Chain A
Amino acid sequence: MNASWALPLAGLAVAAALGSAASSLLAARWPRALTVLAFPMLGVSGIAAQAAGLIALASGARQTTLLPAGLPGLPWHVAIDPLAGAFLLMLGAVLLPVALYGPGYVRAFRNGRDSLATLGACTGLFVAGMLGVLLAADAFLFMLAWELMSLASYFLVCFQHDQPESRRAAFVYLLLAQVAGLLILMAFGVLATTGGFAFPAMRAAHPDATWAAIAFILALMGFGTKAGLVPLHVWLPEAHPAAPSHISALMSAVMLKVALYGFLRVVFDLLGPPQWGYGITLVVVGATTALLGAMLAVQQVDLKRLLAYSSIENLGTVFLALGLAEIFQAAGHPAMAALALLAALFQALSHALLKALLFLGAGAVQHGAHTRSLEQMGGLLRRMPRTGWMFLVGCLGMSAVPPLSGFVSEWLTFQAALQAWRLHDSLLRILVPLAAASLALTTALAAVVFVRAFGIGFLGRARSRQVRHAHEVGDGMLAGQAWLVASIAGVALFPVLVASLLGSAVLQLTGRVPGSPGWLWLTPLGPTTASYAPLLVLAVLLGVGLLGWVVLRPRRGAPVRRVDAWGCGYAPPTPDMQFSAMGFAQPQRRVFAPVYALREGFAGSAYEVVAGDRSWSWIYRPLGALMDRTADLARRLQAGHVRRYLAWSLLTLLLLLWIVS
């Protein structure tokens, strides 16, 4: 299959997404339209996107075309290149399982008062928007698709609008999306002043250093808002829980990556020569985001909020790796830059798959146990075994332990950071290891987050009635998750192959390929420097474990005796005596106390501890209050007295005459 297929396939993906949106409109009259038309079309879109992405990555070429729409003098430029291909691959890899999962999940909404047509149509538009962003090659189409993506997902967040928190989340989300969109628009504006709005023109033109720095800051803030960089992240933990779970999966797994794509496109592709100043900014922002995200994730009780904060953390580590890439590139070590960039892309891919799996799992729990609160869960592994085991895979992956995929990207990032000795600037030499240290701390925290999520949620005993009666979800929903588990296994066990695929996008941006020969050993810096063979790790783990099991197997074959848990000689412990989710995270709360906005006290009969996000009290609430005060000030203009209005008219006239004379 040759390279020219990429663009038509991508077009097919967009068309299928739009078709899915259109066919969902039938659901108003015929609810099954979603199951038989809309979701299969999304699946087609996912497959097509994956295929297009693979072809683009394999061929390494850029394909461009013009569409007769858009502004006068600025038709829609559409292009596909390896960078876009990498993200198309991610999108498709998540979209397909979501399409499998969706029909079962939305069945729960069928008898609700919310319109399924809206849900399906907005999902299709949302996907089309994301595809559009990846395929756009001019600023106008890019912004068009970008905002379509934001807007469609706003409606999805707002889908269950009976709940006030959904409405609030949607408002905060759209507000920050609007901020982000306008900042990005300004960044493009800066880039376009020398050339034009088409990407090739921007690539050719290089703004001077000041303007480039401004464009960088604008792009960082704009895309960073969408990617959830601190302190612009506040929409994320609100919006993710509010949206239906398959949408949360798409938002967290794909939309954040689309923001990352935008950032890569603007800063690494269009902006011009790299600067180490950018790199430092990225590293600092990324490290802060990762740490704060992890610290806050550890304290969440709502499972989906926890996952949302974890997404913030992961995007932070991606940006940290991007910072390393920028630093190395600016310092003239393109091979190291390629390694860091590969780490970032690998992390993006791995996070996309893992987070999609976890959100789908959280959705399954919500579906089967009707709660999102960890404080009500417990023992779900026995009630929902398939979902539970797959969720465990996700948790292990997010905790960055071998042999799962999260570990590979972390390992690559560390390897890149450990090349700091090659740098000449002493500030950078200190900063890069510090970044690695903060990444290490983040990873450890992430492990706490997911141990807690799985341990409290799926192990132990049920803490509420509905969880005690939870039921396993249907086959479609399981199939979606299983597909993701399989993808994760593939990425985790064959990192060399994945790296060589992603390598073509890295090549495009850095001019180097971070290569590992063969397929088994991941050795990006040469076999003696560092190596990792996940397949062997898994083989040994399985071998030793099985061996141990065979050796220690009881001779007589008697079943394991089941007894009550040990209660120190008293009555067996009750479920209420288990450690609660907030109790589990108490040590972290104590150690990182200054980070949290702590609120403790009785809420009704239960004692409640809430560790909130300080961004609200430090930034957003004061801003809101300032806005209201300004608005009150402006109202004074409209005082109601006609004579005062006339006086304004007179004064304006006099002032104007004075100015012109």
Chain B
Amino acid sequence: MDRLLSLLLALLQPLALLAAAPLFTAVVGRFKARLQNRRGVPLKTPYRELRKWAAKEAVVARTASPLFRAAPYIVFASTLLAAAALPVWETASPGAHVADAIVLIGLLGLARFMLVLAGLDVGTPFGGMGASREMLVANFAEPALLLVVFTLAMTTHTTNIGAMAAATLHGAPVLRPSYMFALAALLMVAVAECGRIPVDNPSTHLELTMIHEGMVLEYSGRHLALMEWAAQLKLLLFAVLTVDLFLPWGLATRMSPTAWLLALPLLLVKLAGLALVLAVSETVLAKMRLFRVPGYLTLAFLLALLGLLSHVILESAP
């Protein structure tokens, strides 16, 4: 019974995330629109777009190789698998055993690897440009993310995300300077990784500044649908990751539906909060010049490093 339940959980949590991903993006957009005194698009728009793309004919450039057509599936699958590693409302997530935090980052790396290759495949200047910039972002964002995970792993002595969350839940609430730095770093990384302002602007096709859109410019139809869905999932994934690592209070630690009932609304509140934070920051900040992006990313990396060091220096007396 327990095994079945846990298998169900393993399937249910990522599927829930997958299902909620377009919604989360829409919510962020809605908040943002409201903050900018606009009405914004309906919340179901992303779902309709996905359906529309999936139904449409896929057009592929003559110069594209088979990799171009395989990439969306791999990107989608690996992002979904990464999401499966996250405990959503229940810390004892079975997915977290298949893939711990480091594997999660690795899977995101795999997704990005294929995404970038897809961008390079057609051989247009935009694709190359987007790819080159994406790798610049990855160059710093990925290690910074790893360092964030390390900081928590050093405190909780595990790299299993569920176990991390559980450890934070079980311990007395402590104000840790290292967590502060790590949280700041994680948020900055998330913004960069998901291609949000101020690093990238998801709603523009101004070719000189775009990153993510540059890479997927040649995609259409079902391929585009998968790519976009994966991107939306990634944004939600980072939000849930933030929740799991830094705000796990409320997560169910036992496998019981009653605990889930408490956990789910709390999760929604937390996610909504994060969406609001993202919307506010996107509203008050302007997109950076590309030359400034390395500075931004270096700052994120440094913050993560500071988190790690402050953990070693301040928090863990030998």
Contact = CB atoms under 8 A, between A and B. Distances in A.
B60 A562 contact: yes
B207 interface: yes
Contact of B128 (A411, A460, A529, A587): A460
Nearest to A543: B77
Interface stretch (B24-32, B99-107, B258-266): B99-107
Contacts of B291: 590
A552 B53 CA distance: 10
Given A400-B109, A584-B131, A430 B123 contact: no
A120 to B, nearest CB: 37
A458 B72 CA distance: 18
B158 interface: yes
Contacts of B133: 587
A396 B110 contact: yes
Nearest to A551: B54
B65 A418 contact: no
B138 A586 contact: no
Contact of A583 (B98, B99, B128, B217): B128
Given A563-B59, A565-B62, A455 B136 contact: no
A575 interface: yes
Contacts of A434: 305, 308-309
Interface in A435-458: 436-437, 440-441, 443-445, 447-448, 451-452, 454-456, 458
Contact of B308 (A415, A437, A562, A585): A437
Interface in B88-142: 97-100, 102-103, 106-107, 109-110, 112-113, 116-117, 119-129, 131-133, 135-136, 138-140, 142
A381 interface: yes
A409 to B, nearest CB: 12
B39 interface: no
Contact of A411 (B98, B102, B113, B142): B102
B62 A573 contact: no
B100 A530 contact: yes
Contacts of A178: none
Nearest to A382: B65
Interface string B291-313: 10010001001001100110111
A465 interface: no
Nearest to A533: B98
A548 interface: yes
A537 to B, nearest CB: 6
B142 A440 contact: yes
Contacts, number: 275
A591 interface: yes
Contact of A436 (B63, B127, B150): B150
A498 interface: no
A461 B154 contact: no
Contacts of A196: none
A399 B128 contact: no
B44 interface: no
Contact of A565 (B61, B80, B106): B61
Interface in B150-190: 150, 153-154, 157-160, 163
A460 B100 contact: no
Given A402-B107, A529-B157, A567 B74 contact: no
Given A396-B113, A451-B131, A459-B67, A578 B138 contact: no
A69 interface: no
A527 B59 contact: no
Nearest to A580: B128
Contacts of A441: 139-140, 143, 301
B302 to A, nearest CB: 10
B136 A530 contact: no
B160 A530 contact: yes
A96 B228 CA distance: 44
Contacts of B103: 402, 407, 411, 532, 537
B57 interface: yes
B116 A451 contact: yes
Given A527-B97, A552-B222, A583-B132, A444 B154 contact: no
Nearest to A527: B97
B256 interface: no
Interface stretch (A153-161, A181-189, A361-369, A419-427): A419-427
Contacts of A529: 157-160, 163
Contacts of A451: 113, 116-117, 120, 131, 135
A562 B61 contact: yes
Contacts of B107: 401-402, 537
A534 B87 CA distance: 19
B146 interface: yes
Q: Which 8 A-B pairs have CB atoms at the shortest separation, nearest pair first?
A: A579-B128, A460-B123, A455-B120, A440-B143, A544-B77, A587-B136, A461-B123, A401-B110
Given A420-B154, A587-B133, 9 more contacts: A381-B66, A426-B313, A444-B140, A529-B159, A530-B158, A531-B100, A532-B99, A561-B57, A579-B127
Interface of B: 54, 57-63, 65-67, 69, 72-74, 76-78, 80-81, 84, 97-100, 102-103, 106-107, 109-110, 112-113, 116-117, 119-129, 131-133, 135-136, 138-140, 142-143, 146-147, 150, 153-154, 157-160, 163, 207, 217-218, 222, 225-226, 291, 294, 298, 301, 304-305, 308-309, 311-313, 316, 318
26 contacts: A401-B107, A411-B106, A421-B154, A423-B318, A429-B312, A429-B318, A430-B313, A434-B305, A437-B146, A441-B143, A447-B109, A447-B112, A454-B117, A458-B65, A460-B63, A528-B158, A532-B103, A544-B81, A546-B73, A573-B124, A575-B123, A577-B125, A578-B128, A579-B120, A584-B132, A588-B139
